[in-house]
Chain A
Amino acid sequence: MESEISKLRQLSSTLGDLSRPDGDATVSQGDTCVTSAVYGPGEVKVTKELLDKATIDVVYKPKSGLPGCAEKLLERTIRNSCETVILGNLHPRSSISITVQEIQNRGSLLSCCINSTCMALLDSGVSMRYLMAAVSCAINDNGGIIMDPNTLQEQSSVAVLTFVFENCNYGVITVSAKGCYTLDQFQQCLSKCRDASKYVFQFFKDSISKKLSKQ
């Protein structure tokens, strides 16, 4: 596992910087940096109200320009992952709003967004079944696997895969894949990312412990 750890870029985070949201987190994976804020459980419009669980709303804002279809896909992926993880049954007819703001994108954007969303949810105290950790990898021309690719590596690769794991049994919550790859390559990426996700979970625990040690 040592070689996997060295292949992930440096992870760092700060929690609770913003005063208005119920929970927020800024996570950096190398040079890619994303801030997420969570509001909830709060009021929901009657049209969007769900009778048995909380309505989860994700808004992704790119650094520049108006949000387009790619941003909507990102929102959808993050929302589907959150719906698995958040115990919405405890807050029916409420809404949990998550805003994700891109600060800088230098590769592995989806995994950075999901990691920062998970930390923001932890900071806000919303009830969760388990944590989620996202790890990205890219497959280049000669079949080699690059963990946590940066922008150049992503652009020159044949396929980019992002896996999201939970910390009970390290099962897969979400898979997002782009490009051409074989079944073998998929399995290899899955097992490498699963090993790397343990490092991400440990990072979550260390960050929260550091924040709570001030209390």
Chain B
Amino acid sequence: MVDSVGKVVLPGENLTDLLGSDSTFESSAWSRNTTGDRFSDRVKTWFLKFKEPNIYWVDSFQKRYIPQRGDSVIGIITTKAGDVFRVDVGASELATLPYLAFESATKRNRPDVKVGDIVYCKFLVANKDMEPELVCIDGSGKSAGLGVIGRDGGMLLQVPINLVQKVLSPECVLFKTLGKNLKYEVAVGMNGRIWIKCHTVMETIAVANAISVSQHMTNQDIQKMCSQMADSLVGF
């Protein structure tokens, strides 16, 4: 059982052989149980991973974002339609963002949002049968960092989904190491979009490059790369 962790599993492979016949399956978003025989269709390709004490999951790599409820994403306002904004989040259809879903917005006090703005928002409704809906407030009506970003500059970068998951995980040292040498502001959307802002354009580009190349790097390599980058920015 242990030695199959880290192995690649492909669609159609029978997992009961790998995991042992005494394990029971819980359905996850990516697997299906058929005929009750504890035979699971692997629907995506990917690494089998293990988390104590008894959860196996399949880690996948893809570029396309599929909306999930509760995810924070960066969207671009494309049009206004009646009482809602239509936002492009990189999914298969445009998401809606109501006017009233901003902090202290009322019917008389419209939020100051224009077409082309970048918004950091959260999915309220996201399933395969309904149009996705976003909001820029949390449960208590406060914005909590959500809302329009980037009015005063910055750069929007598109990266694969697995890179976003990597940099947001607690083990990844990228943001901490960058912060030792540079002052920067970053907003990370689960749809693969990252907004970066530093004092100068050169620093912004350097941070963007650092994030892109860290996709295939280990923590040690990331630390080395960040210190090299900091040196070159200063002029060595």
Interface residues of A (CB under 8 A from B): 22-23, 40-44, 87, 90-95, 122, 124-125, 127-131, 166-168, 204-205, 208-209, 212, 214-215
Q: Are A212 and B93 in contact (CB under 8 A)?
A: no
Contact of B8 with A by CB under 8 A? yes
Scoring B44, B60, B216 by chain A CB atoms within 10 A of each residue's CB, the highest score goes to B44
Cβ–Cβ contact A41 & B10, under 8 A: no
Give the nearest-CB partner of B47 in chain A: A212
A206 shortest CB reach to chain B, Å: 9
- Chain B 203-236 per-residue mask, 1 if CB under 8 angstroms from chain A, else 0: 0000000000001100000000000000000000
**B179 contacts the other chain (Cβ, under 8 Å)?**
no
Chain A residue numbers with a CB within 8 Å of B92 are 40-44, 91, 93-95
What are 5 of the A-B contact pairs (CB < 8 Å)?
A22-B64, A41-B64, A91-B66, A131-B12, A205-B10
Contact of B62 among A42, A87, A95, A125 (CB under 8 A): A125
Residue in chain B with minimal CB distance to A169: B12
Q: B12 to A130, Cβ gap below 8 A?
A: yes
A215 touches B162 (CB 8 A): yes
Q: Which of B41, B93, B129 contacts A129 (CB 8 A)?
A: B41
- Secondary structure dominating the interface of B: loop
Residues of A within 8 A of B107 (CB): none
In the complex, how many angstroms separate the beta carbon of B41 from the nearest chain A beta carbon? 6
Q: Which residue of A lies closest to B93 (CB)?
A: A43
Which residues of A have CB within 8 Å of B12?
128-131, 166-168
B76 CB → nearest A CB, Å: 15
Q: How far is the CB of A179 from chain B (nearest CB, A)?
A: 31
In the bound complex, do residue A125 and residue B11 qualify as a contact, i.e. CB atoms below 8 Å apart? no
In the complex, what distance in Å separates the CA atom of A91 from the CA atom of B162? 20
Q: How far is the CA of A44 from the CA of B91 in the complex (A)?
A: 12
Tell which of A41, A131, A168, A208 touches B66, judged by Cβ atoms closer than 8 Å.
A41
Q: Is B46 an interface residue (CB 8 A)?
A: yes
> Cα distance A204–B8 when bound, in Å?
11
Which residue of B14, B61, B63 is within 8 Å of A212 (Cβ)?
B61
B108 at the interface (CB under 8 A from A): no
Q: Tell me which of B30, B46, B128 has the highest count of chain A C-beta atoms within 10 A of its own C-beta.
A: B128
Within 8 Å of chain A (Cβ to Cβ): is B45?
yes
Q: A91-B92, A93-B93, A124-B64 are in contact. Are A167 and B43 (CB under 8 A)?
A: no
B185 adjacent to chain A (CB < 8 Å) = no
Interface centre among A94, A127, A205 (most CB of B within 10 A): A127
B residues 28-74 in Cβ contact with A at 8 Å: 30, 41, 43-47, 60-64, 66
Instruction: Tell me if B41 and A122 are in contact (CB < 8 A).
Output: no
Bound-state Cα–Cα, A93 to B47, Å: 29
Contacting pair B43 A208 (CB below 8 A): no
Quick one: which of B8-26 are within 8 Å of A by CB? 8, 10-14
Do A22 and B10 contact each other (CB < 8 Å), given the known contacts A90-B128, A129-B43?
Answer: no
Q: Is the CB of B43 within 8 A of A87?
A: yes
Q: What's the nearest-Cβ distance from chain B to residue A72, in Å?
A: 26
Q: Give 1 or 0 for each of B70-107: 1 = CB within 8 Å of chain A CB.
A: 00000000000000000000011100000000000000
Q: Are B216 and A131 in contact (CB under 8 A)?
A: no
A34 to B20, CA, bound (A): 39
Cβ contacts under 8 Å, A125 to chain B: 44-45, 60-64
Instruction: Contact check, A94 vs B93: say whether CB atoms are below 8 A apart.
Output: yes
In the complex, which of the residues B14, B43, B64, B93 contacts A40, with contact meaning CB atoms closer than 8 Å? B64
- Residues of A with C-beta under 8 A to B44: 125, 127-128
By a CB distance below 8 angstroms, the chain A residues around B216 are: 214-215
Q: How far is the CA of A205 from the CA of B9 in the complex (A)?
A: 8
Q: How far does the Cβ of A109 sit from chain B's closest Cβ, in whole Å?
A: 25
- In the complex, which of the residues B13, B41, B63, B162 contacts A124, with contact meaning CB atoms closer than 8 Å? B63
For A212, list chain B residues within 8 Å (CB): 8, 45-47, 61
A68 to chain B, nearest CB (A): 32
